[in-house]
Structure 1
């Protein structure tokens, strides 16, 4: 099943990336000419239109991933700490926190798209009423589109981070906090010297998965910004889809996908070597 679902599509994408499959050969791909690394050479030509746009989209994807990780983890950690305390209605609060994550993604994105409209959107109306802004902000077009995607992606993913961190908080031995209180540590000292170190193994896993999910995220940019986003919101997945299917350049599109795959896997391997494996080794010691 792993071979059918994962390895064969990856191998097939790599094969397509070294062939010139376009509108002429899309119905008879087996007769498409072999071009070797020509598609990859076009991507490495930063002066070409497709090369410059692809690497810019990769840059925007990196910003999208970093913003998602920082926002989702920060909000997830704050929510987990609050839910870990005993208060009236805590069970209801735990259910409410899960709503953005368990709701259908397309429905959530369409609602956010309406909320972020510049003229009738709820977000601008609230900010204007509060006096935070003086005029409506255009969220879905122009330079702000990347920040809109980060905001919505954080909203969707932070409940998952909350669940993981909440479970990790429950697994921290209580005697560590008791010993810290005896030594005179306050709440901030306990959080800094006990909670955060104990959460490090799960934190690095959460960060790694959020980065990978952000790099391959197609639903958020496509539903939120549409098929023709402005340059700021043109992340790699959306650019590859639009370029490959609108221009029938499936060979070049496959080459872009392979580069994106290798880039994401490179980040994952480096991160795993210096963060994930080190955290679990340290935990074992």
Structure 2
């Protein structure tokens, strides 16, 4: 069985690991090592202009890597460890290689809340890039078996941290100048604005966030969203009661967005394995966590934005 020590040793040897987090399973590599980071891009088939999030064990280490202002410290204090990524000006480029930052003068940082992730990060003592452990554009893995199915051939160490509690990638906020909301997640826009004031949109800094490709999180089958009555031959991701007679994957019978978020990628995968004519998804309200769910669904369906 793989241990935390095995994972730390693999990172130090410039190899890849699976990093279980509360959001999704990550494909981890040493952030300062361009050769190791290149292995992540190769495993995922990921475009190299898409930056990676660097996971660290503490806010103190994050401040060695990036320039923090008062807003960043307020948000880090409130939401770290947790599912919030901050995009900040790079301070020490030796700690995060140019490839991991996609050549940008900023870096995306997060302290995850999963106890196994924190054990590995504390043992390693450096930053670890850990994009979701799926092939690029595919649904993100929220359990170890899904990660193994996607990119298991590329990793030297994997630890089963159980099913991911949240199941959606982290919220991303840029604090380079104006505060901008780049990607929705479990930490909502309202949560952030309550602490640092209004957030601007992503029209200026969107390229600095992971997960911003137009087609992202996509299964092989075509995805159609906001469907109340699916056509025959479709797999249906329901949100609440439905009378559809075909294959149904119930995101949340009680219309709970937290439950739906945790189930989203797993059910997209299960639906896709049926090789349906298309995957239809029920309407989901955009309030709170629903904003993040709909963001992922729009990308899975091929919408821009």
TM-score in terms of structure 1 length: 0.26
**Structure (1/2) with the larger helix percentage:** 1
**Structure (1/2) with the larger strand percentage:** 2
TM-score in terms of structure 2 length: 0.24
